[in-house]
C-alpha cells in the first residue's frame, strides 16, 4: 500500500469482524481500501435469522438499559465523548482505510459524534422530563405527558460518513432508553464496529448496541421487520422502499435521503469567501456528502470573477491516497460510484457541457480517483442536471434577478441543503427563507447548520421525512403517554341533570375559557 495506518494494530480489523454474531451464515463480505482497491478484511454476511437474533438480544438488554436513570445513561455517553476524542487517530485511520476519505474530512465525523454525545447527554433529562399539560378543567384535571422509549431502534447507515451516520443518530436513541441494532454499509463496516467497542468501554451494556453486517437486500428487510423504529440515511429510491416496508409493519421511520443541493452567490457577495465556501461545499469527501452542492448559481455582477477564481482554486486542490491532514481530496468509495461519476460527466460533455476545471479520472493516483470538476452550459436533458451525482462535480450557471436565483434553487424535486452568499444580512435571510430546503446556510456551506445541533436538520420534498438533531432528534425515538387524573367534578353529565341543561352550561363554560385564553 502507498499509505500508512500508524494507529491500527495488526489484527484489529479481524478482531472487530469477530464481534459480529453470524451463527446462521458461513459467508463473508470482502472490504476493500478505495485508495488502492486492495482487500483489507472481511465481515460476516449475516442471514435474516442472525438479524432476528440480534434484535432479540437487544430487546432483552433494552429492559435493563431503560431502567437506568437518565443521568446514569448520560454518564455513559459522556465517557464515549471522551473516548472518541482520545482514540480519534485510530478512528480516523479506520475511516480513511475503508472509505477513502482524507483525514481532514474524517475529523469532521469525530467532531460530530463528540458534539452529539455532549449535547444529548447534557440535555437528555430536560428533553425527557415529564411535562405538566393543561387539563380539561383547570384545577380539576391534572394532566402529565410522559416520554417512553419505543424499544429497539434499527439504524441503516450509508458508506459516505461511516462514523457520523452510524453513531450520531444512535446517541439520542440510546439516551431515550432504547436499544439499537445498526446495519452499516457493506463498504464501511469497521468504523461502526470500532465505535460499538468504544460504547462498551464507556459502560453501555453489550447487547444494547448490536451491529449486523451483511448485504442490504437481505439484512435490511429483516431488520425493518424486527425493530420498533427505523432510522435510514441513503438514496431517495431506497428510502421509498424502506418507508413502504416500515409502513406495512406500522413502524415509524425517519429518512434522510438524497439531495441536489443549490448554492446561490449574489452580486454583493465577497467573492473570495464564496469561492472557499464552494470548495468546501462541493468537494468535501470528494463530493460524497448528502449536503454538498451540485448546482451553483452566481448572479451576473460577479459571475465572471467567481468562475475564474473558482476554477483556479479547484485546479489547485491536492489529491492523494493519504491519511495525512494536508491532503484535500480523497477517493470515491468504489468502482460503482466511480463509474456513476464518470458516466454523468461524459454524458454532459457529449450533450454540450463545457469543462471549466477537472473532468478526468486519475488512475495515476488511485483506481477510483476523479478530479474535482466544474461544468458550465449544463442543460435539462443531461443526466447530472437532475440526478444526484454524489461525486466531486458541480454545474455552474449565471442568473440576473434575485427572484430568478430563488426559482433556480427551488427547481428540483429535492430539498435538503442550500447556501446563500451575500454581504447584506437582511438580503441573505430573506432569500434563505424563500428556498425550499430543510437547512440553508448564509455565507457558510453546511458547517453552521449541521453543527447547530440544538436545531432540527432534515429534508423537504423528496429529500426525506423526519428530523435529526435538537428536540425532534430525540423525541422521535419515544412514544408520548398522557396520564390524566380527574380530581373533582366530571366531564360527563351529572346524574339527574337533564342533558339539555348540561349542554347549555358547558357551552357557557367554553365561552368563558375562550375569553380567558384570549386574555393571556
Residues designated as active site: 256, 290
Q: From CA 328, how far away is CA 510, in angstroms rounded?
A: 65
* d(C-alpha 141, C-alpha 511), whole Å: 19
With vertex at residue 435, the alpha carbon angle to CA 430 and CA 438, rounded to the nearest 5 degrees, is: 115
Can you give the length of the chain in residues? Answer: 520
SS3 440: strand
Distance of CA 508 to the CA centre of its chain: 51
DSSP single-letter state for residue 457: B
H-helix or E-strand spanning residue 276: helix 271-283
> Helix 88-99 to helix 190-201 angle, to the nearest 10 degrees?
160
Cβ–Cβ under 8 Å, residues 128 and 147: yes
Q: Judge whether 392 and 372 are in contact, CB under 8 Å.
A: yes
Residue 314 grid coordinates? 479547484
Q: Shortest CA distance to 285 belongs to which of 333, 357, 322, 344?
A: 333
With residue 166 as reference, give the H or E element that holds it.
Answer: helix 164-167
DSSP per residue, 236-250: HHHHHHHHHHHHHTT
Spatial separation of the C-alpha atoms in residues 141 and 303, rounded to whole Å: 64
Give buried/exposed letters for 241-255 (b at 16+ CB in 10 A, else e): bbbebbeeeebbbbb
**Coil, strand or helix: which one is 125?**
helix
Grid coordinates standing for 169?
Answer: 443518530
How many whole angstroms separate alpha carbon 167 and alpha carbon 169? 5
Amino acid at each position: 500500500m502507498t499509505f500508512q495506518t500508524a494507529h491500527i494494530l495488526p489484527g484489529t480489523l479481524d478482531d472487530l469482524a469477530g464481534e459480529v454474531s453470524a451463527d446462521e451464515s458461513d459467508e463473508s463480505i470482502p472490504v476493500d481500501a478505495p485508495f488502492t482497491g486492495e482487500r483489507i478484511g472481511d465481515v460476516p454476511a449475516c442471514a435474516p435469522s442472525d438479524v432476528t437474533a440480534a434484535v432479540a438480544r437487544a430487546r432483552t438488554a433494552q429492559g435493563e438499559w431503560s431502567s437506568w436513570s437518565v443521568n446514569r445513561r448520560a454518564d455513559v455517553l459522556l465517557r464515549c465523548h471522551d473516548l472518541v476524542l482520545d482514540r480519534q487517530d485510530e478512528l480516523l485511520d479506520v475511516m480513511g482505510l475503508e472509505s477513502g476519505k482524507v483525514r481532514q474530512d474524517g475529523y469532521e465525523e469525530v467532531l460530530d459524534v463528540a458534539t452529539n454525545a455532549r449535547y444529548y447527554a447534557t440535555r437528555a433529562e430536560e428533553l425527557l422530563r415529564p411535562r405538566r399539560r393543561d387539563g380539561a378543567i383547570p384545577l380539576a384535571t391534572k394532566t402529565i405527558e410522559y416520554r417512553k422509549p419505543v424499544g429497539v431502534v434499527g439504524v441503516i447507515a450509508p458508506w459516505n460518513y461511516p462514523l457520523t451516520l452510524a453513531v450520531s443518530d444512535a446517541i439520542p436513541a440510546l439516551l431515550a432508553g432504547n436499544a439499537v441494532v445498526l446495519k452499516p454499509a457493506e463498504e464501511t463496516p469497521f468504523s461502526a464496529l470500532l465505535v460499538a467497542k468504544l460504547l462498551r468501554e464507556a459502560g453501555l451494556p453489550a447487547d444494547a448496541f448490536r451491529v449486523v453486517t451483511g448485504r442490504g437486500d437481505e439484512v435490511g428487510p429483516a431488520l425493518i421487520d424486527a425493530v420498533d423504529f427505523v432510522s435510514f440515511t441513503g438514496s431517495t429510491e431506497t428510502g421509498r422502499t424502506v418507508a413502504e416496508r416500515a409502513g406495512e409493519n406500522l413502524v415509524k421511520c425517519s429518512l434522510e435521503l438524497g439531495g441536489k443541493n443549490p448554492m446561490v452567490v449574489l452580486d454583493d457577495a465577497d467573492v473570495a469567501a464564496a469561492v472557499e465556501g464552494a470548495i468546501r461545499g462541493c468537494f468535501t469527501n470528494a463530493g460524497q456528502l448528502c449536503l454538498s452542492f451540485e448546482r451553483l448559481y452566481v448572479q451576473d455582477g460577479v459571475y465572471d470573477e467567481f468562475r475564474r477564481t473558482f476554477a483556479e482554486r479547484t485546479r489547485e486542490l491536492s489529491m492523494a491516497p493519504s491519511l495525512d491532514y494536508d491532503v484535500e481530496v480523497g477517493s470515491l468509495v468504489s468502482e460503482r460510484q466511480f463509474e456513476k461519476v464518470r458516466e454523468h460527466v461524459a454524458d454532459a460533455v457529449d450533450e454540450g457541457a463545457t469543462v471549466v476545471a477537472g473532468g478526468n479520472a486519475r488512475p495515476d493516483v488511485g483506481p477510483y480517483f476523479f478530479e474535482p470538476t466544474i461544468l458550465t452550459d449544463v442543460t435539462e436533458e443531461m443526466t447530472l442536471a437532475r440526478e444526484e451525482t454524489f461525486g466531486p462535480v458541480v454545474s455552474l450557471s449565471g442568473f440576473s434577478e434575485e427572484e430568478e436565483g430563488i426559482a433556480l434553487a427551488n427547481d428540483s424535486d429535492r430539498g435538503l441543503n442550500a447556501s446563500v452568499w451575500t454581504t447584506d444580512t437582511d438580503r441573505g435571510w430573506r432569500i434563505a427563507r424563500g428556498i425550499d430546503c430543510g437547512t440553508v446556510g448564509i455565507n457558510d456551506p453546511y458547517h453552521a447548520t449541521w453543527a447547530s445541533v440544538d436545531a432540527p436538520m432534515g429534508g423537504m420534498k423528496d429529500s426525506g421525512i423526519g428530523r435529526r438533531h435538537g428536540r425532534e432528534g430525540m423525541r422521535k425515538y419515544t412514544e408520548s403517554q398522557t396520564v390524566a387524573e380527574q380530581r373533582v367534578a366530571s366531564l360527563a353529565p351529572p346524574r339527574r341533570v337533564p342533558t339539555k341543561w348540561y349542554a347549555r352550561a358547558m357551552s357557557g363554560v367554553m365561552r368563558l375559557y375562550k375569553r380567558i385564553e384570549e386574555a393571556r
